[in-house]
Chain A
């Protein structure tokens, strides 16, 4: 435990936490256009694929960013397309909308040396209920790089580490 946290550190964490909860509300309320406004133009949104590897070789657990496969390696333009797709109202994967709830917890500031660009770690649980009895629980860790702008905090980079190796749900239809 870091015993040198100052009151300013705590305030920063509260500010960031509030931002992340606001973001979760936008997603859970399907306010995707407002959510897009929270992403910087140079966004990287990355979710690698996980593998079962020997515990002494954990460095090989995730696919590497770039030339290897991933669940997401997206820029802002791709995110905008994903939102556009949902808005066609014939995107069957999420038509009718699933009921979704994002839980964001264990929020910690990992690096705030640059006060205008901080690295933040958290856990997420993202619950999806669909049709009559379809249920998914996406659980994992996230590392975000948040940038302070004149319009408030924005997400410049998001790394999402899902707990699964074989994805146990049929598709991704929302955002993490």
Chain B
């Protein structure tokens, strides 16, 4: 066994429940991830509200790559590789804007907002082979689907559709993207995106819904400092919820429909607390057991929310670096001062200046930075065994909710994330990745 052996069984052992840290820093594994995972899964790229009119665009990312999220003249949404089909230069150098064409600054190939090649440099058209078909030389265009305003894209033509890719997690994602009254299309993004680089591998935070790190990682943010740990309340038991598609979530389930304990976590933002309380009975009526799920699940591979309305995407940026993007979701119906309270509540807790999350970044960074030696990569097996003595409870039979439930405290989400990760890393085609017996796919709330 040498360190050049990168087979999955050496990296991820789900029977004994450990992973080798090599998966968090090895350059060859990283290159494989870009191809096996990021070039064939559905990836979160933004929200419809960012591009309301034809010609609107914002830059986003899919894996390492920059893409442009645009609204074409036909009002359809396009996601285009920000790389000229002539020499590969960036065709859009602005984070957002409006314009019906992208002209490359290198030689001047020009593309419409749906990605078609519309103009060649002056005087060259005839010199290209007479049979140059402009329609073959547009910007690379990804498949695009939307879900309650969020926009997702995929390079792989053989991948299943977005809903099938989501599986049972769609039910939870739907609740997380719904507004305070439970209206599925009632949310939008507040203006601005937090983007920051962290010296960590993109996978480190992804299945991190273990809820066992908070007591120590976030000890400095408790109670009077940042209100961490305030709220919660309600009865019932806490679970990890996992889906064979690779998505994970955590939630509390009780026989009673949850009461949320008066939204105590928001007590220092009374406008927000009152707003949520005022609409709570409608949300509870519409969403039932899922009414408390204001955050979205972690959607494989790299989209999730931290807590509440902050959407967090981990864009890989090399084996030991990631660019984190955070958006804040607000209700369309919120009065401006409530929107403002919602933004302040989240940005003071999560993001690079968030009193809760900045301690996460420290731990994630240190984990990656100091795990690049031979022994840290291969000698040490990182333990994911918490909760293995408990069997999973299959959703439908127990709670009437999709997914598989595993009682906390547990590393179940961690194990399941890496189980699915291994499948992607080894599968030669989507045929091998299709999930045939997803627990309660398409379940209604």
Let me know if A49 and B192 touch, CB within 8 A: yes
A172 to chain B, nearest CB (A): 4
B219 touches A171 (CB 8 A): no
Q: Is the CB of A171 within 8 A of B191?
A: no
Taking the complex as formed, is B37 at the interface, i.e. its CB lies under 8 A from any CB of chain A?
A: no
Question: Bound complex: CA of A173 vs CA of B328, how far in Å?
Answer: 22
Q: Which of A83-125 contact B (CB under 8 A)?
A: 84-86, 88, 90-93
A92 touches B197 (CB 8 A): no
Q: In whole angstroms, what is the CA distance A64 to B190 when docked? A: 11
Q: Are B339 and A92 in contact (CB under 8 A)?
A: no
Once the chains bind, are A166 and B323 in contact (CB under 8 Å)?
yes
Minimal beta-carbon separation of A133 from chain B (angstroms): 8
Q: Say yes or no: B362 contacts A54, CB within 8 Å.
A: no
Stretch at the interface among A3-11, A20-28, A71-79, A151-159: A71-79
On chain A, the residues within 8 Å of B221 by CB distance are: 85
Name B220's contact: one of A72, A74, A91 (CB within 8 Å).
Answer: A91
A70–B195 CB distance below 8 A? no
Measured as residues with beta carbon below 8 angstroms from the partner, the interface class of chain B is 35 or more
B204 → A minimal CB distance (Å) = 12
Per-residue 0/1 for B339-359: is the Cβ within 8 Å of any A Cβ (1 yes, 0 no)? Answer: 110011001100111010111
A51-89 residues with Cβ-Cβ distance < 8 A to B are: 51-54, 57, 63-64, 66-74, 78, 81-82, 84-86, 88
Closest to A77 in B: B268
Q: Say whether, besides A64-B191, A67-B339, A78-B348, A167 and B196 are in contact (CB < 8 Å).
A: yes
The answer to whether B343 and A54 have CB atoms under 8 Å apart is: no
For residue A32, give the distance in angstroms from its CB to the closest CB of chain B: 14
Contacts of B340 in A (CB 8 A): 66-67
Main secondary structure of the interface of B (DSSP, over half): mixed
- Asked whether, in the complex, the Cβ of B97 is within 8 Å of the Cβ of A170, the reply is no
- Judge whether B197 and A170 touch: CB under 8 Å: yes
Is A69's CB under 8 angstroms from B352's CB? no
Q: Are B95 and A172 in contact (CB under 8 A)?
A: no
- On whether the beta carbons of B361 and A93 are closer than 8 Å, the reply is yes
How many positions in chain A have a CB within 8 Å of any CB in the partner chain?
A: 39
Of A49, A64, A78, which is within 8 A of B194 by CB? A49
Instruction: Give the CA-CA distance A108 to B172 in the complex, in Å.
Output: 54
Beta-carbon contacts of B99-142 to A below 8 Å, as 1s and 0s? 00000000000000000000000000000000000000000000
CB contacts between A and B, total, < 8 Å: 124
* A85-B226 in contact given A92-B363, A170-B361, A173-B358 (Cβ < 8 Å): yes
Given contacts A51-B95, A53-B96, A53-B97, contact A88 B195 (CB under 8 A): no
Q: Give the complex CA separation of A67 and B199 in angstroms.
A: 30
Given known contacts A52-B93, A82-B355, A167 and B191 CB-to-CB distance under 8 angstroms = no
Pick from A81, A166, A169: contact of B195, CB below 8 A.
Answer: A166
Contact check, B365 vs A170: say whether CB atoms are below 8 A apart.
yes
CB proximity to A under 8 Å, residues B296-348: 323, 326, 328, 336, 339-340, 343-344, 347-348
CB closest residue in chain B, given A50: B95
Beyond A53-B95, A66-B340, whether A171 also contacts B362 by CB under 8 A is yes
Establish whether residues A69 and B348, one from each chain, have CB atoms under 8 Å apart when the complex forms.
Answer: no
The reply on A137 being an interface residue by CB < 8 A is no
Beta-carbon nearest neighbor of B325 in chain A:
A166
Chain A residues near B224: list those with CB within 8 A. 81, 84
Asked if A1 CB lies within 8 Å of chain B CBs, one says no
Query: Does chain B have a CB within 8 A of A129?
Result: no
A63 to B190, CA, bound (A): 10
Cα distance, A168 to B190, chains bound together (Å):
23
Name the distance in Å between B347's Cβ and chain A's nearest Cβ: 6
A67→B96 contact, CB < 8 A: no
Chain B window 287-303, contacts with chain A (Cβ cutoff 8 Å), 1 for yes, 0 for no:
00000000000000000
A92 engages B220 (CB within 8 Å): yes
Q: How far is the CB of A61 from chain B (nearest CB, A)?
A: 10
- Residues of B with Cβ closer than 8 Å to A? 93-97, 190-200, 216-217, 219-221, 224-226, 323, 326, 328, 336, 339-340, 343-344, 347-348, 351-353, 355, 357-359, 361-363, 365-366, 369
20 contacts between A and B (CB under 8 A): A49-B192, A52-B94, A52-B95, A67-B191, A67-B336, A67-B343, A68-B190, A68-B343, A70-B192, A71-B352, A73-B344, A85-B226, A88-B225, A90-B220, A131-B366, A165-B95, A166-B196, A166-B197, A170-B196, A171-B352
What 8 A-B pairs have minimum CB-CB distances, sorted nearest first? A69-B192, A68-B191, A91-B220, A167-B196, A63-B192, A171-B358, A88-B220, A93-B358
Instruction: Other than A74-B348, A85-B355, A93-B359, give 13 A-B pairs with Cβ distance below 8 A.
Output: A51-B95, A52-B95, A54-B97, A64-B191, A69-B192, A69-B193, A71-B347, A81-B226, A90-B216, A90-B219, A92-B362, A167-B194, A170-B196
